[in-house]
């Protein structure tokens, strides 16, 4: 480790601002990077605003060489994850670093040490901050920008992590689907058959009844993902917070709830991929006090052409019946009607064969791979 790199925990407003602003300079020349809104990041790191802090402990670290900030990382102790899985796993996240293994090692060692002091034996990551938000390191598919709420990073990060002793824990896949190629005839036929046989009705979410709809989706979500690797259930506050954030960009026609005899049993959520709009805003709503970014954001958000299917969940007992095919098909049809050209389905676990096969059968192509790494603390 080069001795000139100083890693210190973030203390005070100036450090925090440096932590938040580092990526904007790091990615300045990367055409595919989508700058997050600085204010959104501030709220995300604000314990008073982000419900994740209700239960988790986070320490932020900055790496400096002289006066220059050259890297950052967050160490995350998530007691709910430990309890749910019965492990002593901790996380690192919000990892950004110049291409220098020494800096990366200094940062990750600081995070590891912090976690180890809190009784953690395995470090997983990157996670920002948990599997319910975005996580994984992009290891394949740098040639296109990331979809909404998916991570992005330079290609050298995987090498840095490996140099620091991290190995693959699990891969997450993103799939590309175009709405112009119609779904295979066979799938469509089967779906229709199931729809009739099971008495499935699919409806769009009703935003006027927002709280009740959120409650329905939450119930399905927490039940459906229970067995997934790395999953932890949302707390009520987290789910409501997320729903509130998504409400701003949601197209209700694309959030579908499948009901059998009036009981909601499955849902799928597709959001317009608002990243081009965020890209246009370039991190700020205002420039010299004028709402230029906001204007660009609003204008660009009217021209969104792509979607991201974030989640599709089916309650236990209704799986393997083809409900997913119905939801995929309906989403695809509506997307086409609304003028979207295509989009991404992400992410799926590499070993969730059931889902991966279903997406493949719909004509999905694997476009990006994200990797969750691990290392003993």
Q: Which residues bind another protein (CB under 8 A)?
A: 9-14, 16-17, 37-40, 42-43, 45-49, 53, 55-60, 244, 248, 284-289, 291, 294
In three-state secondary structure terms, 363 is coil
Identify which of residues 194 and 246 has a Cβ nearer to another protein in the complex.
246
Q: How far is CA 337 from the centre of its chain?
A: 26
Cβ distance 194 to 325 under 8 Å? yes
Identify which of residues 35 and 102 has a Cβ nearer to another protein in the complex.
35
Identify which of residues 1 and 298 has a Cβ nearer to another protein in the complex.
298
Cis peptide before 347 (omega within 30 of 0): yes
Identify which of residues 275 and 331 has a Cβ nearer to another protein in the complex.
275
- Minimum Å gap between C-beta 110 and another protein is 14
First-to-last alpha carbon distance for the chain, in angstroms, is 18
Q: What share of the chain is helix, strand, coil (3-state, %, to 5)?
A: 40, 30, 30
Identify which of residues 9 and 159 has a Cβ nearer to another protein in the complex.
9
Number of Cβ within 10 Å of residue 27's Cβ equals: 17
- Minimum Å gap between C-beta 297 and another protein is 9
- Minimum Å gap between C-beta 301 and another protein is 12
Number of Cβ within 10 Å of residue 68's Cβ equals: 10
Radius of gyration of the chain (CA): 21
Identify which of residues 49 and 193 has a Cβ nearer to another protein in the complex.
49
- Minimum Å gap between C-beta 230 and another protein is 22
Q: How far is 358 from 363, CA to CA, in rounded Å?
A: 9
Q: How far is CA 311 from the centre of its chain?
A: 10
- Minimum Å gap between C-beta 151 and another protein is 22
Number of Cβ within 10 Å of residue 364's Cβ equals: 21
Identify which of residues 186 and 208 has a Cβ nearer to another protein in the complex.
208
Q: How far is 169 from 122, CA to CA, in rounded Å?
A: 11
- Minimum Å gap between C-beta 119 and another protein is 14
Number of Cβ within 10 Å of residue 360's Cβ equals: 13
Q: How far is 158 from 152, CA to CA, in rounded Å?
A: 12
- Minimum Å gap between C-beta 249 and another protein is 12
């Amino acid at each position: 480790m080069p001795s000139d790199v100083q890693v210190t925990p973030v203390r005070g407003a100036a450090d925090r601002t440096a932590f938040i602003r580092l990526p904007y300079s790091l990615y300045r020349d990367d055409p595919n990077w989508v700058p997050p809104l600085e204010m959104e990041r501030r709220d995300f790191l604000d314990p008073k605003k982000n419900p994740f802090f209700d239960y988790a402990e986070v320490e932020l670290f900055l790496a400096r060489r002289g006066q220059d900030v050259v890297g950052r990382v967050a160490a995350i102790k998530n007691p709910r994850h430990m309890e749910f899985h019965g492990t002593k796993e901790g996380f690192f996240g919000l990892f950004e670093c110049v291409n220098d293994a020494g800096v990366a090692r200094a940062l990750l060692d600081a995070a590891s040490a912090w976690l180890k002091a809190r009784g953690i034996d395995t470090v997983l990551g990157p996670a920002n901050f948990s599997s319910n938000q975005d996580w994984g390191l992009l290891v394949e598919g740098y040639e296109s920008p990331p979809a909404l709420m998916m991570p992005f990073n330079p290609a050298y990060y995987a090498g840095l992590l490996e140099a620091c002793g991290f190995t693959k824990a699990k891969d997450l896949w993103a799939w590309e689907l175009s709405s112009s190629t119609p779904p295979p005839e066979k799938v469509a036929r089967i779906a229709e058959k199931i729809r009739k046989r099971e008495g499935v009705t699919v409806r769009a979410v009703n935003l006027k009844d927002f709280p009740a709809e959120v409650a329905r989706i939450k119930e399905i979500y927490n039940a459906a993902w229970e067995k997934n690797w790395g999953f932890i259930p949302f707390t009520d506050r987290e789910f409501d917070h997320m729903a509130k954030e998504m409400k701003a960009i949601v197209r209700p026609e694309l959030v579908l709830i499948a009901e059998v005899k009036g009981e909601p049993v499955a849902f799928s959520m597709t959001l317009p991929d608002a990243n081009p709009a965020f890209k246009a805003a370039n991190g700020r709503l205002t420039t010299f006090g004028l709402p230029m970014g906001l204007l660009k954001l609003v204008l660009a958000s009217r021209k969104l052409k792509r979607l991201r299917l974030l989640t599709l969940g089916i309650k236990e007992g209704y799986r393997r019946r083809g409900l997913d095919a119905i939801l995929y098909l309906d989403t695809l049809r509506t997307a086409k009607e609304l003028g979207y050209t295509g989009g991404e389905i992400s992410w799926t676990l590499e070993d969730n064969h059931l889902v991966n096969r279903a997406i493949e059968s719909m004509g999905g192509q694997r476009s990006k791979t994200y990797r969750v790494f691990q290392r003993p603390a």
